[in-house]
Amino acid sequence: MSTNYSAVIEEGKVPNTYMTGDVSYKKQTSDIHPENTVVKEVTFEPCARSNWHSNAGLHMLIAKEGSGYYQERGSAVRLLKKDEVVTILPGVEHWYGATPFDKFSYVAIITEVDKGHGVWMEPVTDGEYFLLSSF
């Protein structure tokens, strides 16, 4: 029996086309997960957040460090802490990011990569973000 390890195959900053603020990522691979799955570690600096978007495939987010927000369109914002898991179904419009005073990182397990990329929409404005973050 052999042990398999994940390896970082790509890393960098996420373009501001999809995010507000500084967001970095590490894309990982391993020969033990299917070709149709991607693993990413994403870190948001305080106040950084994604645009509204929906995914083509199933996504699972596992909060690693700090505190962050997750919100589905039409629902209340949710505060995420270390070890919490969010399963995001395909087609659900949502955003996520760091709180104003804390970095936030998560591991994303993205399945069904062959279904294509998600749809990126409008940014979460500063007004919306700070109103939501006052809950």
Read off the pLDDT band of 32 (50, 70, 90). low
Task: Of 92-96, 99-103, 116-120, give the lowest mean pLDDT range.
Answer: 116-120
Read off the pLDDT band of 35 (50, 70, 90). confident
Please compute the mean of the pLDDT values over residues 112-134 and round it to a whole number.
84
Q: What is the pLDDT of residue 133?
A: 60
Domains, the chain: 10-130 (2.60.120.10)
Q: What is the pLDDT of residue 24?
A: 95
Please compute the mean of the pLDDT values over residues 115-132 and round it to a whole number.
88
Q: Report whether 63 contacts 81 (CB < 8 A).
A: yes
